[in-house]
Structure 1
């Protein structure tokens, strides 16, 4: 996820404060059009906690997290795929090999999800690896795929997708390019026919994508994470101490800047009022959101490369009218641009919040309708 990492510092805030970034150095892809990605990669849902923050990494506890009935509910709601976020440390042993019993549960999870009718993106989603600063973390990523990629051979290449790394930071885009290409080589040695998700640096952002030159791989999909505008969607979570209750009153779409700023009346926090006023003055609406996603689609057309929005969301504390309007505008813009998407997430405050009980989250019918799902 793009919003919270490093003790609550949000990536989107880093970009907003942002340093200039170097252009990537991946080899250009050929001019011939690549095959279209699988039709199942249309409407997705991130499974955020199962193998990322498990209550226990022990196999029986892992297996019990998501029952078959919950998988069937996800599919019945209209989702066509899931992004299975796996923290490699959950599966890796100290010697760099994969823990056999935990790996077996992860593979069983892929099988069960596919049996429920869902395609699966298997996403390497570490929470404490920073390969841009620590070469040993890059080596650990390669170790993970040396074990994981061969284990995925038995799954349908059009329904089982490999994602090299979630949200690489990398101020040096050339360094990320080199590591991504090396990791792709590891994956391709075991999985020559599976689709693979690649991404740009800068936390997998749109800016990172636009600095990326695609690899020569006909079955590659390029990922973007987009939580724009972060003041609204994430309640400016990159900055500590703000009045989040006041920010949660902001409207979407913004039809009148003065009326928008009035939503901040009563907040005693000057910094919150200033940030909120900036959002109001920018005039965020469906057209501006569409323009944001159109930049990603334009990159894909220019490079003849499929692009997907594999993370987006809006904070559950945002007022319901704005939240639902935002989701509706996002889904419609993505559809107009032909972009598949995956909501962040199942059991997460940015999508369907976690709850106790046999199903880790409730699929809110109003949110599903806003996304164009749920019948």
Structure 2
């Protein structure tokens, strides 16, 4: 059915969503009232959602969408290795375009592979967050992308009814941008209401605008739903963790020499002083002057935890990482500081990611990635 025709159905569905939202005590629209979230995770879910790993390239940017190739990406031995390393759940990043057909339904054979993957991960002892993780979608500007988000969950949510809700979780959308936070809040609540029509008891993960950042979370008003979690992504400081990837053309080798923690500003600045690239020197020197250390990192995570306490709303850090090309002492110290801060604040977390340069880089062989024992020790997954 063309998009214009589906829009009529979407309007009817949104009307139904508003009725359901009213029954749940959810106010839809940009003027959503601030109300207590009244969300308390059962103890078994808290145990499951303790330490996670993003599975980044299975159903996102797959080398092939052919079902047999998809099925073979992550063998059972790799799943067992992830669990044995101390991870309690995975965030299964699903690019909706891999499943969506032009008529807005999900391709049944590939959907079956996704559902089989969830079952296999459960058998390995892992919880699973099913994350709608699109690429090149801009729902803040394109109505057809909003429609596609509704279409995805209209097909995926009923398929998830079979799974144990103590180990299976739903994430509405990865990293919404949305310059207008109220517009995103209204859309997110409509999608939440649609999912709730078929998954009334599953725990659903919400997030703020601005790429799901801490700043976006602070602009978000919690909903009156007892089964929600709020997600934050944090790669701060981006100069260090991401090797300043926010600005192309920098001297990445020089930036990779920066230390963490910064204990001597002059010594820190000396690590980039020999770079021939003036802008890279300036960015590195600015990082040094900010004095990043474990305490500053803890301060950010404590801010997220305080938002959760203030609103009686569980918060998790569902993406963080540090570039594998960063000098190893700084990288391991960063991971240790992050893991310890999250533990002190009682925040579950998920590293980005498995088969990704920010976590455990991709490799050839029977397993898509190798779990670095030093990174695992720094994160404290064995404790």
- What's the TM-score bracket when you normalise by the shorter of the two chains? over 0.9
- Which residue pairs with 1:195 in the alignment? 203
Query: Any residues of structure 2 matched to 1:13-52 within 5 Å, and which?
Result: 25-30=31-36, 32=38, 34-36=40-42, 37-52=45-60
Match of 2:301 among 278, 289, 293: 293
- Which residue pairs with 1:262 in the alignment? 270
Check 1:25–1:158 CA distance in 2 against 1; reply closer, same or farther (3 A cut): farther
SS of the residue 1:153 aligns to: helix
Query: Any residues of structure 2 matched to 1:207-356 within 5 Å, and which?
Result: 207-356=215-364
Query: Any residues of structure 2 matched to 1:68-87 within 5 Å, and which?
Result: 68-87=76-95
| Cα offset, 1:31, TM superposition | 6.6
Check 1:267–1:131 CA distance in 2 against 1; reply closer, same or farther (3 A cut): same
8 Å CA contact retained: 2:321, 2:359 = yes
**How far apart, in 1, do the equivalents of 2:291 and 2:52 lie?**
29
| Cα offset, 1:257, TM superposition | 0.6
**How far apart, in 2, do the equivalents of 1:358 and 1:80 lie?**
22
**How far apart, in 2, do the equivalents of 1:100 and 1:240 lie?**
40
**How far apart, in 2, do the equivalents of 1:178 and 1:157 lie?**
26
Deviation string for 1:102-137 (max 9, x for gaps)?
000000000000000000000000001100010110
**How far apart, in 1, do the equivalents of 2:256 and 2:37 lie?**
46
Asked if 1:127 is matched to 2:126, the reply is: no
Check 1:101–1:297 CA distance in 2 against 1; reply closer, same or farther (3 A cut): same
Deviation string for 1:325-370 (max 9, x for gaps)?
0000000000000000000000000000000111000000000000
SS of the residue 2:48 aligns to: coil
Match of 1:204 among 201, 208, 212: 212
| Cα offset, 1:38, TM superposition | 3.2
- Which residue pairs with 1:153 in the alignment? 161
8 Å CA contact retained: 1:346, 1:352 = yes
SS of the residue 1:239 aligns to: coil
- TM-score of the aligned structures, taking structure 1 as reference length: 0.92
Check 1:193–1:24 CA distance in 2 against 1; reply closer, same or farther (3 A cut): same
**How far apart, in 2, do the equivalents of 1:76 and 1:347 lie?**
17
Query: Any residues of structure 2 matched to 1:43-122 within 5 Å, and which?
Result: 43-122=51-130
Structure 1 gaps of 5+ residues are 1-22
Q: CA RMSD in A?
A: 1.3
**How far apart, in 2, do the equivalents of 1:27 and 1:100 lie?**
40
- Which residue pairs with 1:372 in the alignment? 380
Asked if 1:170 is matched to 2:170, the reply is: no
| Cα offset, 1:34, TM superposition | 2.8
Check 1:32–1:349 CA distance in 2 against 1; reply closer, same or farther (3 A cut): closer
**How far apart, in 1, do the equivalents of 2:126 and 2:30 lie?**
33
Check 1:25–1:200 CA distance in 2 against 1; reply closer, same or farther (3 A cut): farther
| Cα offset, 1:158, TM superposition | 1.2
Structure 2 gaps of 5+ residues are 1-28
8 Å CA contact retained: 1:227, 1:234 = yes
| Cα offset, 1:28, TM superposition | 2.8
**How far apart, in 2, do the equivalents of 1:146 and 1:31 lie?**
25
Deviation string for 1:150-186 (max 9, x for gaps)?
0000001110000000000000111101110110011
| Cα offset, 1:61, TM superposition | 0.5
- Which residue pairs with 2:19 in the alignment? none
Check 1:33–1:87 CA distance in 2 against 1; reply closer, same or farther (3 A cut): closer
